[in-house]
Structures are given as C-alpha cells and as structure tokens.
Structure 1
C-alpha cells in the first residue's frame, strides 16, 4: 500500500461543536494535522479582533481548517463517490487543500496584512512548497504533490471542479466559517441548511452544481452570509479595535524608522519593518507574540504608542460616527486641523474606516475579476446561473454595499482640562 492510500488502523475523530465529529482515516491527513505549521493555527484566532465585541469569538484558524476539511470529505465521500463526472484520483488533493487552505494566516490576519502589504495566500503556498514539515508530508505522496496543492489554493489547478470546492461563491470554506462564526459569536444569522445543500451538490464537467430542488437552501445560505457580514464581520466595535491595532503597528514601524530606542525591542518585527521578512520569521508570529509586545509597549516613553497599546489591551476603544466621504470631506479637513490644535495627532486619532461587501455576483465579460457563480442543475439537465432562477438572489446580485465610519477617542475630547474651546468645536462637528 502506498503512502497516498494508507489508512489509519482505526478512524480518528475530533469532537466538533459545528459538525459534531471530524473524521480522519487517511494517514496523510493525520500526519499533516500533526505538523508544527498546522498546529501554529491554534494560536491565531479565526475572527481577529471580533472577540472584543463578541466575547465567545475565541475560536482558532485550526478549528475552521478542520471544519473545511470535514465538509469537503463529506461532499466527496458521501456525495460524489461513484459518479462518472467525478475523478476519484483527486480525492486526496481536495482533502489536503481543504485542510491547508488557511495555513499562511498571520496574527490578526487581515489587519496585519493590510499594514505590512502581505498576503496570507502567498504564505500558504510558501509553507506548502518550502522547507517545512507540511512539505515533507506532501512530498511523501508524490514529488509534484505539494505543487498541485499550492495550485488549488492559487486557483490555477487544471481541474476547476477541485478549485470550486475550496473557493467559489458556495464552497466548503464559506459553509464552515458562517456556521462556526455564528456558533461562537452567539448570533443566529449564519445558520442555514447545510445538510440539504450537501445532498443536492453534484459534480458536472468543470464545476460543482446544485440541483434546482435545493435552490431555497442556497438562497438561505446567501442571505446568511449577507447578514453575517453586516452584523458580525463589519461590526463597528470590531472595526474600532482593528483601527487601533493597525495604528499601533504603523506607529511601531514609524518609530523604528526614526531610530527610536524601544524599552522593549520589537525583535520579532525587525524583518517586517525592513521588508526582509522570511518564511521562518513569519512562522514565529502568532497572536500571543503580538499581545506580549502590546502589553510591554504600554510602558514605552512614546505617548502615542503607549496610549494605543493601553487602549487595545484594556478595550478602551475609539468611538465612531457615520461618515460620508463624498459630502463630508470639508468636515474631515477641518477636524484634522482642530485635532492638531488640540494636541491629538489625526494620523492616529482620527480615522476613516470603510467596509464593503458584494453578497453575490456572477462573471460579466470585461471585468477583471472572474467570479465563479452558483449554477443550478435543472430537471431537463440544463445548467442555469442562480440569479436567473431566484428572484431573491437577483435582487441583491451585483449590488455592493459600502459603509463608512469616522473613529476618534471620545474620552480625550471630553477631557476639557486643556484646550476647552477647540475640543468643544470638534464635538460640535462630530455631532456629539
């Protein structure tokens, strides 16, 4: 028996709050779970700063990765196996890509990436292809196997059906994180009938399609996603924490560039600050490391870094007001000047934050980004794009919703011991 087909002596199971159990029989999957690069995901939260809004949101990227693996395993083993359109030789590749799809996430994921212009998918591929324990396991399958896994994650793999299981508008990734994030945040929005969707998924040519009888379950899934984005992922309090987190990292980098003498030297950040980040350096970063520095930097002599770190660690977040950058740019310019007069650096204490989401769309010729739409399999055998059949989906298809907030430290503005007139003027413009 080859390593690629080797099974464990008995099935291993992980108890899971969303899927009840995660089942592992393949030796390759079991070995990948045991690698240090995969175990690192225990130390990175799935939802970044959301735990400061929803106190239950402490679940990790490892939780989610196991969940995505389990959904793909069920789709393939329970739904696709034996169907002529499905190539069973792709099974292990699908399972490995599902398990490893988030391997390159860093601490506080998207906020961290934004500051330092990083991309977690680049690091995912680097881990899979580099000198790592994960790569060693994958190479034991076949020498070119790591390359194929990386291609699935990069969406360049030749079999587009394999890619669509991991990355499309109805994929295992989204089906897991919506339910998992709803469970741990305690909200009801992210729940949908996944069992029904799994039952009506079918392999067809180069994509996964949904039997038309399951259309209403898919509508429910899309609306669940829409609600989760605006009620959880784009929650204004979570965004306030992200704003402060982002500004801490910006400030630390700026101080480093100005040769500031840190009391607690940012050793883990040197290669990032100097644009010389190696994979080995990146893998040493997790959220416990970031928290250590933020706690240490509360004692720094730089008043901005110290204040921002104290705010983040103690959840003394910025307040916010609705803001329209199209019509209120004059107000923003005036506020910038007033903040400077009040002794508050607007670069760090006056921040416009925008969130935007497109709940569903389909490919339109001439657009740069090709979106994989959801297709329904009609009783006649014809395949139809979802929004052509669903009035609900058609109503929201292609409609981007954007929200803008202006964040600021209300406590410092209400402290009128100094510059009382200026601060009062700021509050008037903010409408407070």
Structure 2
C-alpha cells in the first residue's frame, strides 16, 4: 500500500511571471476542487478572440496569477513593517484566488440573459460559503475580507479597490495575450511602491508615474480591447442568442442543450431561488456547453435562433456604428422595418438583429481615490498629486452609443 502523501506545495509555470508557488496545502485543495477547476473552461475575455486570436487564456490562469501577485504584495508590506498575521495572509490568498469563481460561461453574457437578477460577485460569495462548509470554516476570514467587512481596510482594498491585485493581473495578462502593448503595466513596480497609512492602501510618491501609466493603460485597454467594436457585437449577439433560446424554452420549444444549460433555460433563475441545487448546476456550466449548443442551434427551425447562432459560429457578425450622441428613434425603427421585411420576421423578432446600447469608460473614480504618500507622510489623491493634466480628465465618464444591424 502506497502511504506517500502527494506534494501539495507545487510550483506552476506562468508565461508572464515564471514560476508560481502554491503557498499552503489548504490552497492546493481549493485549487483542486471541481468548483475552481471549472475556471479552466471559462475564457477570461469571452469573444475577444474573434478580434485578438491569442486571447484564449482562462479565468483559472488569471486567478492563479492574482494569487502570485498577492504573495508579492504581502512580502512588500511585511518588509515595510506592516503587521499582517499568518491567518490574514492566507485569507488574502484565498479571497483573491476565489474573487472570480462566480463568473459564468463567457463571463458577462450569461448574467444578462439566462441568469438574471444576480451578479457574478453574489454567485462568487455563494461558492465561497459552500467551500467554507466543506473546509470546516477555514474560509471565514477570507469571506469577511472579500465582502469588505474586515476592520482592517487596506486588506479589503488589496482585493477590491481602484488599484487592486485583480486589476494588476488582468491588465498585464490581457495585454500579453492580445498583443496590445498599451496595457502592459509594471505590476512589480506598483506592488513594490505599496504601503499602508491610516489603514489605507497607498502608493509611495516615487511610484506616481507607475500609477499614471496604470490609469492610462486601463483607459486604452477599455477602448482598444474590452470595448472593441467587434467584441461588443459578438457579446451582444451571444446575449441575444441566449435570450431567444430562453424565450423559446419558456414556450416549451424543444432545444438541444446539455443538462446544466437546460436547467438554466427551462427554469426561471433569480437571486431569490438561487439555491444549492442551482449552484451545483451552475458549477457544471461552462463555455463549452454554450458553444456546443450554439453550433447545434444554427440548424434550429426557429429562424432568429438559427440565424444568430450561425452568424456567431461563422463570425459573420452584425455591423456596428458608434457615436457620441444617442441614435434617433426614427432611424432605429426604420432599420427594424427593413430587417423584418427582408428576413420575413415580426418586428419584435427583428429587434434581435437591430438594437442600440451605450458604453461607459471611466478610467478613474474619484469617490474611491488612489492615495499617494508624500515624503512628509501626507496623503494626496493621485488626480491632484499628478502634474499630468490628463488624469483630471480621466475622472469624467466617457459615454458612447452604438447601434447594431445586419450588413
């Protein structure tokens, strides 16, 4: 009989950071859990790979990267004599590792179509509480920090703020995999400049330019990558496919789907009835289920469903126009009429192919400031501390409107 225990302090190789050490056996067991392994089957950037072919990295990848950066941040703060206990340290690693565990297939598309009224943050919390039961309450502190309820504010800010570990990883990672160099921030430098003053997570004055670059990189990545017009069209078409499938399911139409996707199509899921069974079904749903269903639906007798599905699979997407002001109702209605005539659809069906929405890009929110710590120990909001006039401009949300319609 083999009594040799498995080595749980393994090392993983990451293309960006090199070797990543798993810090504890508990964290190894959480990573091994099916809930966490599901993240290997959820892409980080949804349909962005239709624009940037390299963008196929997963949420699993990103979560592991975040854990690595958190280890660096803890080391830096320890070095600067900031007291962080062993329990707090482990709680930070667990909280950042699980911060995205509630993301559904294709990230945000599911939230806006078949699982409505509950956000991925709330689902993440449900997963964490379920894992906490399985691991005998060892996630208590991690959950408290994740919810922002822990009295030491700076620990919560490492998980969620305008300069949190999550952003430091995804900007660098998404920039690497898309090849969009504008997003390549110096996460090492930013972490090395971190400090704590009056329980606030702050950046030392000599890191000010790294913060400026971080904010500008974030703005550019939003316009160039996250809000790229082709990505917007693809994601909204996916939302519409799922909405149409849900509509048909509600009417009792038979649709091809595996058991977990079927569960969400044929049941009304909201915050109120998101119970343990629903969580279990959600934990089995990933990008592959949605994609295989869409491939099958491209042959469905419902014209709206089959046409939209085929367009996504073949990457024959709708046309998109983006502008500063809202689109005129008359123009929209005219397009809807044309599409309904050309495709022999009702006007309500034509709205799956003609729709308008708005996008917002705000690189910096002054209500949750990033503080710069000067040599005298004073704290200043980065927007005021910087001599870069653009930063003040970055606090204003930029709103644009877009319309999609068939070519």
TM-score (norm 2): 0.89
* 1:156-305 superposed matches below 5 A: 156-262=149-255, 264=256, 267-273=259-265, 274-276=267-269, 278-305=278-305
Deviates more, 1:350-359 or 1:62-71: 350-359
Corresponding residue for residue 360 of structure 2:
356
Bigger shift: residues 285-294 or 342-351 = 342-351
Contact 1:121-1:154 within 8 A present in 2 as well:
no
Offset, 1:284: 1.1
* Structure-2 separation of matches of 1:120 and 1:346: 30
Q: Does 2:84 align with 1:87?
A: yes
Q: Deviations over 1:300-344 (max 9, x none)?
A: 111111111111112111111234553523211332333333335
Choose the corresponding residue for 2:372, options 357, 371, 376: 376
* Deviation, structure 1 residue 265: 5.1
Structure-2 residue corresponding to 1:46: 44
Correspondence 1:108-127 to 2 at 5 A: 108-115=106-113, 116-117=115-116, 118-127=118-127
- Structure 1 SS opposite 2:338: helix
CA distance in 2, matches of 1:205, 1:58: 41
SS in 2 for 1:111: coil
Pair 1:175–1:265, CA change in 2 (3 A)? closer
Please give the residue correspondences for 1:129-144 in structure 2 after superposition, counting only pairs within 5 Å.
129-130=129-130, 132=131, 135-137=133-135, 139=136, 143=137
The answer to whether the 8 Å contact 1:360/1:396 transfers is no
Q: 2-side partners of 1:245 and 1:149: how far apart?
A: 34
316-325 or 169-178, which moves further after superposition?
316-325
Partner residue, 2:382: 386
Provide Cα deviations, 1:269-313, integer angstroms capped at 9, x if missing partner: 344242245101111100111111111112211111111111111
Question: Runs of 5+ in structure 2 lacking a partner?
Answer: 1-5
Tell me how many residue pairs correspond in the alignment.
386
1:319 aligns with 2:319: yes
Deviations 1:137-175 (A, max 9, x none): 3x3xxx3x4233223222233221111111111111001
Aligned match of 1:68: 66
The aligned residue for residue 350 of structure 2 is: 346
CA distance 1:135–1:325, shift in 2 (3 Å): farther
The answer to whether the Cα contact below 8 Å between 1:44 and 1:107 also exists between their aligned partners in 2 is yes
Q: In structure 2, the residue corresponding to 1:310 is in which secondary structure?
A: helix
Number of the residue aligned with 2:3: none
CA RMSD of aligned residues (A): 2.0
**3-state SS of 1:21 partner:** strand
Greater Rg by CA: 1
Give the distance between the partners of 1:269 and 1:213, measured in 2 at CA.
51
Give secondary structure in 2 for the equivalent of 1:22: strand
Structure 1 unmatched ranges of 5 or more: 1-7, 364-370, 411-432
Q: Which residue of 2 aligns with 1:4?
A: none
Q: Report the Cα offset of residue 100 of structure 1.
A: 1.1
Moved more, 388-397 or 161-170: 388-397
SS at match of 1:254: helix
2:43 partner SS: coil
CA contact (8 A) 1:86 1:203 kept: no
Q: Equivalent residue for 2:31? A: 33
Query: How far does residue 41 in structure 1 lie from its aligned partner after superposition?
Result: 0.3
- Aligned mates of 1:233, 1:326 — CA distance in 2: 21
Q: CA deviation at 1:84?
A: 4.1
| Cα distance between partner residues in 1 of 2:166 and 2:96 | 8
Residues 1:57 and 1:265: Cα distance change in structure 2 (over 3 Å): closer
Cα offset, 1:360, TM superposition: 0.5
Distance in 1 (alpha carbons) for counterparts of 2:133 and 2:228: 37
Match of 2:400 among 382, 400, 403: 403
